[in-house]
Structure 1
Amino acid sequence: MAERSNRLQFEKSPYLLQHKDNPVHWQAWGDEAFRAAREENKPIFLSIGYSTCHWCHVMEHESFETQEVADVLNRDFIPIKVDREERPDVDDIYMSALHAMRQRGGWPLSMFLTPDLKPFYGGTYWPKPLFLNVLGQVAKVWREAPGQVFETGDSIVEYLKLQKSAQAEGVGLSEEVFGAFFRQSLMSFDPAWGGFGQAPKFPHANQLSMLLRIWRRTGEPRALEMVKFTLDKMARGGIYDHLGYGFARYSTDARWLIPHFEKMLYDNAQLAVAYLEGFRATQEPMFRRVAQETLDYVLRVMTDPEGGFYSAEDADSEGEEGKFYVWTFEELSEVLNRDELDHFCRVYQVTPGGNFEHGANHLSLAAEFAWAEKDHPLIRSASEKLFKIREARVHPHKDDKVLTAWNGLTIRAMAIGWQVLGDKKYIEAAHRAAEFLKKKLAPQGDLLARFRDGEGRFAARLDDYAYLIQGLIDLYQCDFRPEILSWALDLQRRQDAKFWDAVGGAYFFTDGSDGSLLVRGKEGADGALPNANAVAAANLLRLHDLTLDAAYREKALKTLEVFAPTAAEFPSAFGTLLLAYDYLTDLSSELAVLEGKEGEGAAFFEWLRGGFFPNHVLASAVESADFPPLLQNRRAQDGKTTFYLCRNQTCEAPSRDAAEVLAKLGECARYDLEAGRV
């Protein structure tokens, strides 16, 4: 048997580096570890997590830091560690395998594999005594019944291949799916606290975005009310950080009161967009402010000096979950004057007994106070004092890797933030991030997935391409820089070449070059992140409208067709796909704005960006331009700003009437939510 040691000190992942001093002989995912498993005929113990995962920390402390567990793992297994944020492709396969075993998913993901990487048994977090028992039982079965183990692994892999092999069946979606989505949302909606489902309660940003579009096209007041109520309750709750801003991952209770305290970049990017859209639709000032504060949190805390965006902040500090964020009544009494203390405690529901562990309080805005109460002089002065004190505490660990996919989502959020809020810092941040990604993560043209500590690594997956293309399209919609759209088009060509399934339609998640991945699958449903195929479909529709290239639209239609049967059956799981379908079935507008020399189009853009006009694309230039094709052969007539509006490939006469054009953009293709209901 070859002498092995822990090899994680050679990695860049913050999660893997957290485990580099474990007595477990951890190996990184790769040929060296696979070869050892084959040569020594040992099963692989695969542990997948991420650096800000609370239960990953718990299992490390209870098990992986102990010599007792390490001895068993090192003797009977080849232990491999994977950062799910670096390798979502690996994580997806083995999390799907866990679900196939009829077990609930989560992290840490603990999976046992044959030497040829086929999963045969798994779980998530196991306390040390149970974990030791599992290790003993698995080792025993491996010794005594290896044939049974291989048979199980083979059957699971065949199941996964079947599950992830969606093909176009010639049946598309119909607008009836919007009614089904609305009814499913209504059934799961929490009328007391907002959101969908019960504890633990997660934000569902794309579900809210889809409900806004249903309201826009049907006038259904309940769709709008679900969105408004949920946005209000989340922002008031403890899932929102009232001192430092930004949203935590999820709420442990139905009231949004006590969160799981980790903050993820992708959540904050998606929720910023949800609040921006909520403001566009309702003009509710609270939504505008929450979006602004969330984007400001990302700029202040989650931004690399060179422009990329970091991945996450941990829930734990000093070994305790939430310690950075909570306050005892005694702590507040020591630093606030009497008037500040009394009013702050009323507004944020602070009591001597607390609402969290060990008598601590986590802040949430009391129902009797309006959001504007945050601007009361006593609240402002108290908040400033407490924020300064909190900044001096030991901060939670920050995962400072830059992920292409999540940066794409955040570029989009910053771009839309500039459109709605008008502050140039947001568009500047979006451009800096785009430049960072192009320099560090696309030096040869093809995207890489992760940058950290001077190293770009891992071939990009579909989500990296789709999210970044989406972000670049939204960034182009801000200031119409042709090089931004050109890069988006170049990435789209690369995405098509690497991931498109020319036989069955839609995109594979991986490019097929990694032989260690047992399954090359396609997905259409959302998870914590928007589905990459769904984002890709929307991108294709928008790129078609900007370039007039019919091939983009054909791919979008085929992608929607692939997932249509499942989306029709489970529409609430396909919110992002339905956003693309909403764009397709609406009076989707292509607007070319040729500005006159005086730049009088500025007022029009301000009106447009402040309202809720979701299904359109813009291209603009001063007087004339040849790129993108939407601008070709169009001029500012008589030197005055001229609007060229087309809807569903039918163009209207040029107009100089901004109000008329804006009114037309506000029109939509209406449908009946009850259509097709039995």
Structure 2
Amino acid sequence: MSHLSSPPPKHKGEHKGHGLPRGSERGSSPRDKDRSVTVSSSVPMPAGGKGSRTNCSHSAPQKTPNRLINEKSPYLLQHAYNPVDWYPWGQEAFDKARKENKPIFLSVGYSTCHWCHMMEEESFQNEEIGRLLSEDFVSVKVDREERPDVDKVYMTFVQATSSGGGWPMSVWLTPNLQPFVGGTYFPPEDGLTRVGFRTVLLRIREQWKQNKKTLLENSQRVTTALLARSEISMGDRQLPPSAATMNSRCFQQLDEGYDEEYGGFAEAPKFPTPVILSFLFSYWLSHRLTQDGSRAQQMALHTLKMMANGGIRDHVGQGFHRYSTDRQWHVPHFEKMLYDQAQLTVAYSQAFQISGDEFYSDVAKGILQYVARNLSHRSGGFYSAEDADSPPERGMRPKEGAFYLWTVKEVQQLLPEHVPGATEPLTSGQLLMKHYGLTEAGNISPSQDPKGELQGQNVLTVRYSLELTAARFGLDVEAVQTLLNTGLEKLFQARKHRPKPHLDSKMLAAWNGLMVSGFAVTGAVLGQERLINYAINGAKFLKRHMFDVASGRLMRTCYAGSGGTVEHSNPPCWGFLEDYTFVVRGLLDLYEASQESAWLEWALRLQDTQDRLFWDSRGGGYFCSEAELGAGLPLRLKDDQDGAEPSANSVSAHNLLRLHGFTGHKDWMDKCVCLLTAFSERMRRVPVALPEMVRALSAHQQTLKQVGGREGPLAGTPGGRRAGAAPGNGERRVGLLGLFLELRSVSVRPRVTVCTGVSAGMSGRLLLCRWRSL
């Protein structure tokens, strides 16, 4: 498939610049360039070709482990038997580089990354390359999900000095941690258009010995330029920009890139981008009587429907894959990420609220069914991801998508029963294959399968509506639905016997916070206490296993141990800004769904800790990492792009508004204003890069209109309560609803009322207020 021949470019949002997430990212960069090798460097590199081909022979991994065997990260453990003297990120590696005056080779990836697997197999298992890395460099391996600060800093360098970025990320640093060469995936050998990894290592080794002074000077200049470029500050500005202007510009930019036929934005690879869908729903809510408002609603709903019908959705086991390699949402990159499931279940719940169409609520419930089955620890936490690759059969080499693809023969054998009442001879298998587009030759185009490995393989994708499929064979729609559901269940049971993709059982506080939101919001929308209980158990897990009571700090990670235990690294990896931000959001969503004040009280405490550790008292906004934790890194960044995950600063703006609304704590409103003002220039320049922050800007300015700029609790909080105190269980948010104007009622189960506007104490995520709250 095309995404196996080169990693995709980055797409709107995860990192700065225009380029995408997790083996790709979030922005608009040229799509037609081969990104399998990205090099940014002042070091001369050969063009490659027949004359420079190498013969790096592969050997079986050595049986003696390196020091990564002592780590907890699944990604680092995947490299524990490489013939490379790997170090984890830390002072031991830095001291060695300074003492021996060697450059640092930094390799950053994650455990479910296809191209990370490729480079590990091709280069890091290679004895000759292993000797080069061990003798001439200090080689450091980083799990980007454990250390997002390290990843962001050096990806900023790679994107700023090359045409894109992605994972694995390969960067060479001075002993003082300043970057001077950067790239992504390298093949082991030189090709006609590609520089081999061995050649890169030899050239950098030579330049370090012969031309080190120039390298250091260039590195310092680049670092200085990046410092200036990454500065985000209020400066002389006193107020954030106009919400109406930013909303209009953001919508227009999205409208220009919208795919009318298949939904989504830009060309392939195509990503779900829940933050964009959330913005469109909010835009519709505030412009519902205008043509643009209707357009925004249609764009979001059509995109969600096309995604749900496409191959990016796992129709057999539910949940969504990472992204589509084509415009049609047909052939996905098959890894499944927790953060996608969390955000998409909220998006589909919102779509159900707006449309009343149970198609969307069914998709949301399917996502949560998948998470509960495949990504849940028995103590309540949520795992990070499932890999794209797995062996087609036991003992075979892993291939991308092997777990999810089907041949016509397999389906026919599993579903041989004849369908009574059809207008022509028909089996259950034939009915399912017609509906989901399976063919004898396979439904993956040759352009997506350059090596011819997937001939005869099929991705399930809905080709016809139930009505059309039923009419084609003269059957009732209900009968077709039952037959398809039965067929999918049989495929699901058969798939259990296939070798499963690798499960990344690492648990991250940030993504667990997003998943708490997913269960809480969907449970509230659908009126299902069972789903809210999943959110409660997730929050309890966070407090029990990822929260240090004495310091009030969150831990970034914990890991599934043997026998269902939970393990931690020693010393623990402390939380980053996104951990606090997403957990606070999850707790506020859970408070609104459950009305249990304990969750609001914990959110208040975490927000205090977040302010203490990450707030920029001079420039406004939050840094991504603690000053102490990021000591030695050349940059301390503020995340300024909403992408596969929303920017932590964007979510913080929402959280501050909500907390102010619940408690009347003026400091949080002031911080929200400072934050929005600090990001003013970024929003003015590229509002589409920060749709979640534009939503927060709108919520803030709407709040000022609603309350006339008055201070103090908005509602549901007695004026006599001290600032920061949480409302009791009996003090329901009835008063808050007075700030909303009822738009219409939708007669669906559960009964819901659409409300306009967003008060500072309400999330705006539950676009509709559950009837029981009234």
TM-score (normalised: structure 2): 0.77
Is 1:429 aligned with 2:526? no
The one-letter amino acid paired with 1:47 is S
How does 1:416-455 map onto structure 2 within 5 Å?
A: 416-444=521-549, 445-452=552-559, 453=561, 454-455=567-568
C-alpha separation in 1, matches of 2:86 and 2:758: 57
| Higher-helix-fraction structure | 1
Is 1:206 aligned with 2:275? yes
Is 1:505 aligned with 2:574? no
1:369 positional shift: 3.5
- Cα-to-partner distance string for 1:247-296 (whole Å, 9 max, x where unaligned): 10000001000000000000110111111111111111111111110111
Q: Pick from 347, 354, 360: which aligns with 1:287?
A: 360
1:441 positional shift: 1.1
The one-letter amino acid paired with 2:457 is A
Find the counterpart in structure 2 of residue 490 from structure 1.
605
Q: CA separation of 1:558/1:283 partners in 2, compared to 1, >3 Å: closer, same or farther?
A: same
C-alpha separation in 2, matches of 1:552 and 1:274: 27
C-alpha separation in 1, matches of 2:484 and 2:753: 42
1:155 positional shift: 1.6
**Equivalent pair of 1:46/1:79 in contact (CA under 8 Å):** yes
C-alpha separation in 2, matches of 1:166 and 1:155: 20
Q: CA separation of 1:5/1:148 partners in 2, compared to 1, >3 Å: closer, same or farther?
A: farther
- Identity percentage of aligned residues: 40
Find the counterpart in structure 2 of residue 401 from structure 1.
506
**Equivalent pair of 1:619/1:628 in contact (CA under 8 Å):** no
Find the counterpart in structure 1 of residue 653 from structure 2.
537
3-state DSSP of counterpart to 1:359: coil
1:26 positional shift: 1.0
1:644 positional shift: 2.6
C-alpha separation in 2, matches of 1:255 and 1:239: 9
C-alpha separation in 1, matches of 2:369 and 2:186: 38
Q: CA separation of 1:16/1:642 partners in 2, compared to 1, >3 Å: closer, same or farther?
A: closer
1:413 positional shift: 0.7
Find the counterpart in structure 2 of residue 323 from structure 1.
402
**Equivalent pair of 1:589/1:646 in contact (CA under 8 Å):** no
The one-letter amino acid paired with 2:409 is E
1:76 positional shift: 1.1
1:313 positional shift: 0.3
C-alpha separation in 1, matches of 2:714 and 2:272: 28
The one-letter amino acid paired with 1:241 is D
Q: Pick from 241, 262, 267: which aligns with 1:173?
A: 241
C-alpha separation in 1, matches of 2:384 and 2:143: 12
C-alpha separation in 2, matches of 1:22 and 1:79: 12
456-465 vs 52-61, greater mean Cα deviation: 456-465
1:209 positional shift: 0.8
C-alpha separation in 1, matches of 2:109 and 2:716: 43
Find the counterpart in structure 1 of residue 61 from structure 2.
none
153-162 vs 541-550, greater mean Cα deviation: 153-162
The one-letter amino acid paired with 2:595 is F
Q: CA separation of 1:111/1:642 partners in 2, compared to 1, >3 Å: closer, same or farther?
A: closer
**Structure 1, gaps ≥5 residues long:** 592-615, 652-661, 670-678
Q: CA separation of 1:353/1:78 partners in 2, compared to 1, >3 Å: closer, same or farther?
A: same
C-alpha separation in 1, matches of 2:328 and 2:222: 39
Q: Pick from 112, 121, 125: which aligns with 2:181?
A: 121
Find the counterpart in structure 1 of residue 350 from structure 2.
277
C-alpha separation in 1, matches of 2:733 and 2:539: 31
C-alpha separation in 2, matches of 1:555 and 1:495: 12
3-state DSSP of counterpart to 2:223: helix
C-alpha separation in 2, matches of 1:664 and 1:336: 44
**Equivalent pair of 2:715/2:736 in contact (CA under 8 Å):** no
3-state DSSP of counterpart to 2:679: helix
Q: CA separation of 1:307/1:364 partners in 2, compared to 1, >3 Å: closer, same or farther?
A: same
Find the counterpart in structure 1 of residue 253 from structure 2.
184
- Cα-to-partner distance string for 1:487-506 (whole Å, 9 max, x where unaligned): 00000000011111111111
The one-letter amino acid paired with 1:540 is L
Find the counterpart in structure 1 of residue 208 from structure 2.
142
Q: CA separation of 1:548/1:355 partners in 2, compared to 1, >3 Å: closer, same or farther?
A: same
C-alpha separation in 1, matches of 2:588 and 2:663: 12
The one-letter amino acid paired with 1:45 is F
1:176 positional shift: 0.7
Find the counterpart in structure 2 of residue 600 from structure 1.
none
Q: CA separation of 1:112/1:631 partners in 2, compared to 1, >3 Å: closer, same or farther?
A: closer
Find the counterpart in structure 2 of residue 365 from structure 1.
462
C-alpha separation in 2, matches of 1:375 and 1:84: 45
Q: CA separation of 1:132/1:579 partners in 2, compared to 1, >3 Å: closer, same or farther?
A: same
Is 1:476 aligned with 2:583? no
Find the counterpart in structure 1 of residue 322 from structure 2.
249
Find the counterpart in structure 2 of residue 217 from structure 1.
286
C-alpha separation in 2, matches of 1:374 and 1:93: 55
Q: Pick from 665, 684, 705: which aligns with 1:549?
A: 665
C-alpha separation in 1, matches of 2:186 and 2:642: 28
**Equivalent pair of 1:482/1:628 in contact (CA under 8 Å):** no
Find the counterpart in structure 2 of residue 301 from structure 1.
374
Find the counterpart in structure 1 of residue 29 from structure 2.
none
TM-score (normalised: structure 1): 0.88
Find the counterpart in structure 2 of residue 157 from structure 1.
223
Structure with more contact order per residue of length (Cα contacts < 8 Å, sep ≥ 6) = 2
**Equivalent pair of 2:662/2:717 in contact (CA under 8 Å):** no
Q: Pick from 117, 124, 145: which aligns with 1:85?
A: 145
C-alpha separation in 2, matches of 1:26 and 1:665: 55
417-426 vs 30-39, greater mean Cα deviation: 417-426
Find the counterpart in structure 2 of residue 644 from structure 1.
735
**Equivalent pair of 1:55/1:108 in contact (CA under 8 Å):** yes
Residue-pair matches, total: 624
- Cα-to-partner distance string for 1:602-633 (whole Å, 9 max, x where unaligned): xxxxxxxxxxxxxx998599xx999986859x
3-state DSSP of counterpart to 1:82: strand
- Cα-to-partner distance string for 1:276-323 (whole Å, 9 max, x where unaligned): 111111111111111110111111110001111000000000110000
Find the counterpart in structure 1 of residue 13 from structure 2.
none
508-517 vs 347-356, greater mean Cα deviation: 508-517
**Equivalent pair of 1:238/1:258 in contact (CA under 8 Å):** yes
1:423 positional shift: 2.1
C-alpha separation in 1, matches of 2:484 and 2:442: 19
3-state DSSP of counterpart to 1:644: helix
The one-letter amino acid paired with 2:621 is A
1:240 positional shift: 0.3
Q: Pick from 515, 518, 532: which aligns with 1:410?
A: 515
C-alpha separation in 1, matches of 2:199 and 2:714: 58
Is 1:351 aligned with 2:439? yes
Root mean square deviation of aligned Cα: 2.7
C-alpha separation in 2, matches of 1:290 and 1:466: 27
Is 1:586 aligned with 2:652? no
